[in-house]
Structure 1
Amino acid sequence: MKTLQLLMKPNITALAYAMFMATNAAGIWGGVFPFLPFDMQSNALLFWFFLAQATTFFATFFFVSGLSYFAPSITARPLVAGAGVPYFLGWALIIGAMYFADLRMPLLVVGGACLGAGSAGFYLLWQRLFMAKETSRGVVDLMMGTVYSAVIYFALYLIPRAITVYLIPFAFMPLFALALVVCSREIDLSQPMFADEPRKNRRVYRNTLRVLYRSGLCVAALGFCTGCMRAAAIEQPEMGSYVNILSMVALLAAACSILAIWRSRDVKFNPLAIFRALVPAALTSLVLMPFLPAAYTQWLSAVFYSIYGIALLLMMIQTGQISRDLGVHPFFVYGLLGGVVYLMHDLGFVIGSAVELWGIYQPARILLALMMVYALAMVYFLCHTSLKTTIAKAFSDDSIELLALALTGRRESAEGKPAPMEAGSPSGNDALWDIDEPSSEASPDEVGQEALKDAPAALVEEDDRERVFTDRLSKQMDAVRRAYGLSARETEVAEAVARGKTVKRIAEELFVSENTVRTHTRRIYAKLGIHKKSELIDLAQSISR
C-alpha cells in the first residue's frame, strides 16, 4: 500500500498528460467547442470541422502504426514537434475563425484537420512514454493524469471564455509539449519493444493481431455507436457541453475506482467479458430510443460517450501491456487498434449526421437505433462465436438425424424389413433424438479442460481459462507470483526457465522474440533479487513450504 501511495504522488508526467486531456476535451470531444461562441457552432460548421478532425485523427494512427512496422528507426525519435506544430496550428486557425467570419468554414476545416493529426500524435507519444516505464509506474501515471485532467477541465469553466481560448494554445500546449520532451529523454530505447525489427519477427506480430482483434472489435462497435450519438450532440451544441462534462466525470470516477481497488488487491480486466455484460443493457436502451422523447436520446448519447471514454482508457492499458509482454512496438499495437476504433467512430459520425442533419430517413431515430443494434449484435456474435465452427456444427451434430434414403431403401429391399438396431443402441424414436453427452468417466470440468488444452493459448479467452497446476513446480511458481507480484507473462517465463528450457524454445512457445524473453528474465531476476536459475528453483521451493 505504501508503494502505491508513493506512486500516486503528483509528478510531471501525470500533470502534463492531464493538461493535454483537458485541452482535448475543450476542442475535439463530444461535438462542441465549450469555450467558443455559440455562433461558431452551427450544424454545418461543426459537421465539417469534426469530419476533418476525425479523418486525420484515425489516418494518423494508421500511418504511425505502418511507420513503426516498415521504418522503426524513424519512430525511435522523440517526434514531439511532429505532433506539436499541427496541434498549435489547429488552435490558431480556430481562433482566427472567430475574427474572419467570411473565412470561417475553410479555417475551421483546416484547423480541424490539423488538430486531429496533432492530437493523434500526442496520444501515441503519451502511450509510448507510459508503457516505457516500469509497469506499475506507467499505469499509475496514466490513471493519475486522467484524474487531474477532470479537475483541470472543470477549473476552465471558472475562467472567462475570452481568456480560455488563448490559454489553451499559448500556455497549456507549450507546457505539456515541453514536459513530454523532457520525460521522453528517460525512455530506455534498448527495451525489446523499441529495439525490435518487426519484419524479422512477423510471427510475433501476427500473433499480436490474433490476441487483440476481438477486444478491438468490441471497442470499435462502441465507437461506431458513439459516433452516431455524436451527430445528435452536434445538432444540440448545448447538449454537447453536458456530453463533455459527463465524459470527464465518468473518467474521473473510473480512474479513482481502479486506483482505490488497486491499493489493496490485484486488478484484472477482461474486455470481452465487460462487453458481454454491457451489450444487453445497450441493446435495450437503443430499442427504447425511437419510442421516448428526444431528451432521452440526448442523455443516452452522453452515457455512450462516457462508456466510450472509459473503454479508450482501458484500451491504452491493454495495448501497453501487450507491447511489454510480446516485445511489440507500442506505436504498432496502439496505432493499429486505435486506427480501427476511431475509423469506426468516424463512420458512425458520418452516417449519423446524414440521418440526423440531412433527413435521409424519417423518423431518423428509428434508423439510427437499428444500425447501432445491428453493429453491437454482429460484433457480439463475431467475438464470442466462430462462424466457421458454428456452420460446421449445424450440419454435423446428430440432434436431428435423417438416415440416407438410398441406403435405407437398399437395406429394406435386401432384407424385406428395416435393418435391426445394434445391441446397446437406442431404439424407436430415441434413435432420432440421440444427443451426445460427456461420458460418465469424464466430468464436465475435465471435458472443458481437454477442449482448452487443444486450443491455441492466444485464442482462448481469459475468462475461459483457469490456472491449472500441472505439477509441483507449477504450483510453486504461482506462489512466487503472488509473493513478489510477478505478472502473468513473467510467471510463464519464470516457470519455463526453471524447467530448463532454452531461450529459443521459450520464445517459440510464447510467440515472442528471443530478446523479449531475455528482458523478461532480467526483470524477473531483479524482482526476486536473484542472479541464476538455481536460485530461482531454490526460492520457489522455499516459498511454497
Structure 2
Amino acid sequence: MDQKNSLTLDRRTLGYAVNLLLLFQTSQGFTAVAQTQLGDTGFRTLYQWPLTIALVGTLLLLGMQGLLAPRAPSARSAVAATTFILLGVSCVTVETFANLAPDLLVRLAAVAFGIGLALSFTLWQNILFAEGIERARPKIILGTAVASITDIILIQMGTTLVPLLAMTVLTAANGWGLAACLPDEADSGRSNVPTAPKLSASGLFLSIWRYVLCVGVIGFASRTSQTLAVEVAGASMNIYLAVAMLASSVAMVILWLRKKPFSLQNAFTVLSALVTAGFVSLLFIPHSVIPFIAAFAFFAFSIVSMLMVIATIEIAASREANPTFVFGTFAGIAYLLTDAGPLLTNALENQLGLSPIVVVSVSVIYLVAFAGVALNMAKGTSSKREAAETAEDVPVDLSSSFIRPVVVQQDLIPLCCQQLRKRYQLTVRETEILELLARGRDLARMADVLFVSQNTIRSHTRNLYKKLNVHSKQEALDLLEQTKEAIVTEIAR
C-alpha cells in the first residue's frame, strides 16, 4: 500500500479527530452539564436552537465569503475559532459553578460554540483539501474512528468537571493543530487552495443539490429519532450514539481497505432503505427498542457525513473552486435540513394531535421516498440532457439512400456502444462511461451525470479498458470508430 495513502496517525489525522470531538462534546457529552440544570425543554430552547442557528448561519456566511471574497486560510482564523470556543467553555463553567444569569450564559455559550466550530471545521476542510483527495480520504476515516473512541471514554468519565476540563484541553489542542497545519502567512500566497471564484453559486447548487439531499434526509431521520430515544434512554443515549459512530468509521475503514468503490449515492440507496425499514417498525415495536433504531440512524448519518466531507473536497478540486465556498454552502444547507427535523415534527405533532412516534415515522418515510424519487428523476433528466446535447432538431427524411448513412452516423454512438457491450460483455455502467467518453465528457462531468464519485468513474474506466483490451482513452475511441465505420458500411449496402 502506498504510504502516503495509508491509515496513519499523523498530526492532520489527530487534528481532524480533535475537531470532531469538539463538535460531539458540544452537542452531546459536554452539554449534559447544562442540560441537568435547565431540563430538556429549557435546554432545547436556550441551547440547541441557538447552537444550530449560529453553526448553520456561520457556515453559510463562510460559503458566501468563499464565493465573493475568497482567500487562503490563515492563522488569524484559527485564533478566532479558538477564542469563540473558549468563550463558550467559559460561559458554561460560570453558569455551572456560579449559577449567574443561566439563561443568558447558556445562549451565549451556544452562539459562541456555533461560530467557533463552523470556523474550525471550515479550516480543517481547507487543510484536508490542500492534502489532496487521496491523502485526505484515509485521514477523514481514521480521524472519525479516533474521535468516536475518545468520545466513548469521555462520556464514561463524568458529567460535570471532567467535560469542562476535557473541552478546555480539546480547544487548546485544536488551536495548536490548526496553527501547526495551516500555511504561514508568507506561504499563503503559494497555497494550492483556489482563491479565484471559478464556480458560481448556481453552478455549485447544480453540482451538490443531490448530495445535500442525501445527507439532509438521513440527518433528518437521525435527529428526529434521537428526540424520541432520549425520552427512553436518557443520558445513556450518548453511549449509543458514540458506539454507532465508531461502527460507521469501522465500516468505512473496511470498505477503504478492500478498495470497494462507494459514493454518497450508493450509501444513500442502501442506508435509506434500512432506515425506512427501521422507522416502519417503530409503529409496531416496544418503546425500549427505539434507542437502537436511533443509533442505527446515527450510524447512517455518520457514514454520509464522512462522505460529505470527501465529496466537498472532490467537488472543489474538480471545479477548481474555493473549498470554503463549497464546504460552507454544502454543510450549511445539509445541517439546516438535519436540525429542522425536531422542529418540523413538533409542529406536525401539535397540529395533527398524533403521537410523536407516528409523526416521526411518517415524516421520515415520506422524506426518504421523496428523496429517492427526486434522485432518480434527476439521473434520468441528466441522461436525457446528455442525449439532447448531440441531437439535431431539424427533421430529416430518412427515405433517401444518400442521406440515410449520414444521418444515422450522427446517432451511431449509442448503437456502437451497445454492440461493443455485447461483444465484450460490458456492464451497463461501463457502457454508459464509454458513451460519455465518446461524447468528449471529462471526469467531473461524467461523475455528475452518473451521480457517482470520480474514483468510481476511474474504477469503471479501468475495468472498461481491460475488457476492451486497450490501454488509453484514445485506443478505446479508435475501437469505437472502427465499429462505427463497420455499421455505416453495412447500412450503405
Which TM-score band applies after superposition, normalised by the shorter structure?
0.7 to 0.9
SS of the residue corresponding to residue 172 of structure 1 reads: helix
Moved more, 439-448 or 222-231: 439-448
**Cα gap change, 1:25 to 1:35, in 2 (>3 Å):** farther
Q: Report the Cα offset of residue 221 of structure 1.
A: 1.1
Runs of 5+ consecutive residues of structure 2 not aligned to the other structure: 385-413, 423-427, 479-493
Q: Would you say 1:239 and 2:234 are equivalent positions?
A: yes
Residue 363 of structure 2 corresponds to which residue in structure 1? 371
Alignment partners' CA distance in 2, 1:123 and 1:440: 48
- The 8 Å contact of residues 228 and 351 in structure 1, kept in 2 or not, is answered as no
Task: After superposition, give the CA deviation of every residue in 1:292-340 in whole Å (9 maximum; x if it has no partner).
Answer: 3322333322221221122111111121122223321111111111011
Which residue among 246, 255, 260 is the counterpart of 1:252?
A: 246
Q: How many residues align?
A: 426
**Cα gap change, 1:137 to 1:361, in 2 (>3 Å):** same
Letter in structure 2 aligned against 1:23: L
Residue 24 of structure 2 corresponds to which residue in structure 1? 25
Which residue among 318, 324, 328 is the counterpart of 2:311?
A: 318
- The 8 Å contact of residues 90 and 111 in structure 1, kept in 2 or not, is answered as yes
Q: Would you say 1:307 and 2:300 are equivalent positions?
A: yes
Residue 383 of structure 1 corresponds to which residue in structure 2? 375
**Cα gap change, 1:150 to 1:363, in 2 (>3 Å):** closer
Letter in structure 1 aligned against 2:3: T
Residue 431 of structure 1 corresponds to which residue in structure 2? none
- The 8 Å contact of residues 91 and 111 in structure 1, kept in 2 or not, is answered as yes
**Cα gap change, 1:469 to 1:291, in 2 (>3 Å):** closer
SS of the residue corresponding to residue 15 of structure 2 reads: helix
Alignment partners' CA distance in 1, 2:367 and 2:70: 35
Q: Percent sequence identity over matched residues?
A: 18
- The 8 Å contact of residues 81 and 120 in structure 2, kept in 1 or not, is answered as yes
Residue 3 of structure 2 corresponds to which residue in structure 1? 3
**Cα gap change, 1:104 to 1:451, in 2 (>3 Å):** same
Which residue among 174, 182, 185 is the counterpart of 2:183?
A: 185
Residue 270 of structure 2 corresponds to which residue in structure 1? 277
Residue 86 of structure 1 corresponds to which residue in structure 2? 84
Which residue among 146, 151, 171 is the counterpart of 2:149?
A: 151
Alignment partners' CA distance in 1, 2:150 and 2:259: 29
**Cα gap change, 1:115 to 1:355, in 2 (>3 Å):** farther
Runs of 5+ consecutive residues of structure 1 not aligned to the other structure: 393-437, 479-494, 500-545
Q: Report the Cα offset of residue 343 of structure 1.
A: 0.7
Alignment partners' CA distance in 2, 1:67 and 1:441: 45
Alignment partners' CA distance in 1, 2:64 and 2:22: 27
Letter in structure 2 aligned against 1:382: A
- The 8 Å contact of residues 223 and 345 in structure 1, kept in 2 or not, is answered as yes
Rg larger in structure: 1
SS of the residue corresponding to residue 31 of structure 2 reads: coil
Alignment partners' CA distance in 2, 1:196 and 1:185: 15
Alignment partners' CA distance in 1, 2:87 and 2:164: 13
Residue 230 of structure 1 corresponds to which residue in structure 2? 226
Moved more, 39-48 or 111-120: 39-48
Residue 105 of structure 2 corresponds to which residue in structure 1? 107
Task: After superposition, give the CA deviation of every residue in 1:169-198 in whole Å (9 maximum; x if it has no partner).
Answer: 432211221121121126964578624410
SS of the residue corresponding to residue 333 of structure 1 reads: helix
Q: Report the Cα offset of residue 87 of structure 1.
A: 1.4
Letter in structure 2 aligned against 1:302: A
- The 8 Å contact of residues 92 and 169 in structure 1, kept in 2 or not, is answered as no
Alignment partners' CA distance in 1, 2:252 and 2:91: 38
Letter in structure 1 aligned against 2:206: R
**Cα gap change, 1:384 to 1:76, in 2 (>3 Å):** farther
Task: After superposition, give the CA deviation of every residue in 1:387-441 in whole Å (9 maximum; x if it has no partner).
Answer: 9969x9xxxxxxxxxxxxxxxxxxxxxxxxxxxxxxxxxxxxxxxxxxxxx9999
Letter in structure 2 aligned against 1:184: L
Which residue among 210, 214, 218 is the counterpart of 2:214?
A: 218
**Cα gap change, 1:351 to 1:442, in 2 (>3 Å):** closer
Residue 71 of structure 1 corresponds to which residue in structure 2? 69
Residue 173 of structure 1 corresponds to which residue in structure 2? 171
SS of the residue corresponding to residue 320 of structure 1 reads: helix
Alignment partners' CA distance in 2, 1:79 and 1:320: 20
Q: Would you say 1:14 and 2:37 are equivalent positions?
A: no
SS of the residue corresponding to residue 197 of structure 1 reads: coil
Alignment partners' CA distance in 2, 1:462 and 1:152: 32
Residue 93 of structure 2 corresponds to which residue in structure 1? 95
**Cα gap change, 1:57 to 1:445, in 2 (>3 Å):** same
Alignment partners' CA distance in 2, 1:441 and 1:119: 49
**Cα gap change, 1:227 to 1:257, in 2 (>3 Å):** closer
Provide TM-score, normalisation by structure 1: 0.68
Q: Report the Cα offset of residue 158 of structure 1.
A: 5.2
Residue 295 of structure 1 corresponds to which residue in structure 2? 288
Alignment partners' CA distance in 2, 1:119 and 1:233: 26
Q: Report the Cα offset of residue 67 of structure 1.
A: 0.1
Root mean square deviation, CA, Å: 3.8
Alignment partners' CA distance in 1, 2:91 and 2:194: 38
Letter in structure 2 aligned against 1:24: L
